Amino acid sequence: MLVLGIETSCDETSAALVSGGDVLSNIIASQVDLHAKYGGVVPEIAARKHVEAIGYVVEEALDASSKSLSEVEGVAVTSKYGLVGPLVIGVAAAKALAYAFQVPITGIHHIEGHIFAGMLSNPQMPFPHLCLTVSGGHTMLVYVKGPCRYEVLGQTLDDAAGEAFDKIAKFLGLGFPGGPVIDRLARQGDRAAFDFPRPLKGRKNPDFSFSGLKTSVVNRFKGRERSGMPLADIVASFQEAVVDHLVSKTLQAASQRQVAHISVTGGVAINSRLREVFTEECARGRYRVYFTMPSLCGDNAAMIAAAGAARIGLGDVAGMDLNVDPSGQLESL
């Protein structure tokens, strides 16, 4: 089934064509430079930019896949979880296209998209598996029983992992987004230079928390305390605490649920130290870890199209009354 995916939940305008698990095209117009000077995504600016870009990215996705709209057999759009204004733009465009070409449309939860990015990257990954989605807007651990069958095991109680990277980078004057620059700088630093707290240690629930860790870095290095301290050591120690928290909570859940396969996805899943520690710890604990390919880690429409193909195939089709649900729950079929 040839599915057109549309994703506009945050600051990337994306359209993609996916057919039978193959990504034929995946066009992403990023607004990251626009938001950089504000140190984070400004929802109103993001929505306006989606309006400008949506027509162009859909055309590009069709061109790049050498397909025409009349060949599209279904439309999938992120309708749940994200910024309301940006979501509205994608849903309106998707409904117009589905109506004009009389094809089924389905609304996708943004996290379900990230879960499918893992499956697109690793088609051999078996069920059940655990999927850790770590990005700028979310940190969620899901038990994936099968396609479109989920149980949310844990999520962040405050900031998302990527948000913590972004806020610490902003605090240290390293720019936005913070993850890539901290990842690079941390390679030259001493990971054990500072002993930052590991959040929610000793708790059985695989939930996550980053705001206490962030505050502890800020309190320690605000004002004069920072002078003379090597920046690389600060970010390496901070990153180590984040990675340790993410890996230990995920493996705790894998052990509780007796799941051998772990998928790691979302923008933060690009992080080199996260990949290194997951690989080492999974080998030690006899788990198998699957990383999403970097081109599908960030927000993109191919993951939405893949989820849409599964949902439409299972009969989950929306009507023209499909609406956005910015805080919608991840639902099973």
Nearer to ligand KG4 among residue 266 and residue 308 (C-beta):
266
How far apart are CB 153 and ligand KG4 at their closest, in Å?
19
What number of residues does the chain have?
Answer: 333
Nearer to Zn ion among residue 8 and residue 135 (C-beta):
135
Q: What are 306's two structure tokens?
A: 């893949």
Nearest to 253 by CA among 151, 149, 138: 151
With H, G, I as helix, E, B as strand and everything else as coil, classify residue 134: strand
Nearer to ligand KG4 among residue 75 and residue 296 (C-beta):
296
- Total binding residues for Zn ion by CB under 5 A? 2
Cβ contacts of 244 within 8 Å, gap of 6 or more = 198, 277
Nearer to ligand KG4 among residue 132 and residue 259 (C-beta):
132
Q: Which does 83 bind (CB under 5 to 8 A by kind): ligand KG4, Zn ion, none?
A: none
Nearer to Zn ion among residue 86 and residue 206 (C-beta):
86
What is the C-alpha to C-alpha distance for residues 280 and 276, in angstroms, rounded to an integer? Answer: 6
Q: Which sign does the torsion angle of CA 124, 129, 132, 133 carry? A: positive
Nearer to Zn ion among residue 65 and residue 300 (C-beta):
300
How far apart are CB 85 and Zn ion at their closest, in Å?
16
Nearer to ligand KG4 among residue 97 and residue 289 (C-beta):
289
Nearer to ligand KG4 among residue 106 and residue 135 (C-beta):
135
**CB 88 within 8 Å of CB 322:** no
With H, G, I as helix, E, B as strand and everything else as coil, classify residue 262: strand
Q: What are 118's two structure tokens?
A: 């893992």
Q: Which does 162 bind (CB under 5 to 8 A by kind): ligand KG4, Zn ion, none?
A: ligand KG4
Angle of the 178-186 helix axis to the 161-171 helix axis, nearest 10: 70
Q: Which does 183 bind (CB under 5 to 8 A by kind): Zn ion, ligand KG4, none?
A: ligand KG4
Residue 251 region by backbone torsions, left for phi larger than 0, else alpha for psi between -120 and 50, else beta = alpha
How far apart are CB 321 and Zn ion at their closest, in Å?
25
For Zn ion, which residue has the nearest CB? Answer: 135
Pairing of strands 74-80, 105-109: parallel
Q: Which sign does the torsion angle of CA 32, 159, 166, 173 carry? A: positive
In 8-73, DSSP assigns E strands to 12-19, 22-30
**CB 265 within 8 Å of CB 297:** yes
How far apart are CB 73 and ligand KG4 at their closest, in Å?
27
Binding positions for ligand KG4, rule: CB under 6 A: 10, 135-137, 162, 165-166, 177-180, 183, 266-268, 270-271, 298-299
How far apart are CB 82 and ligand KG4 at their closest, in Å?
8
How far apart are CB 285 and Zn ion at their closest, in Å?
27
**CB 188 within 8 Å of CB 134:** no
Q: Which does 88 bind (CB under 5 to 8 A by kind): Zn ion, ligand KG4, none?
A: none
Q: Does 135 bind Zn ion (CB under 5 A)?
A: yes
How far apart are CB 308 and Zn ion at their closest, in Å?
16
* Listed ranges 131-139, 143-151, 191-199, 202-210: which one lies at the site for Zn ion (CB under 5 A): 131-139
Per-residue binding string, Zn ion, 262-301, x by CB under 5 A, is -------------------------------------x--
How far apart are CB 262 and ligand KG4 at their closest, in Å?
18
Q: How many CB atoms lie within 10 A of CB 325?
A: 16
* Interface positions with Zn ion (CB under 5 A): 135, 299
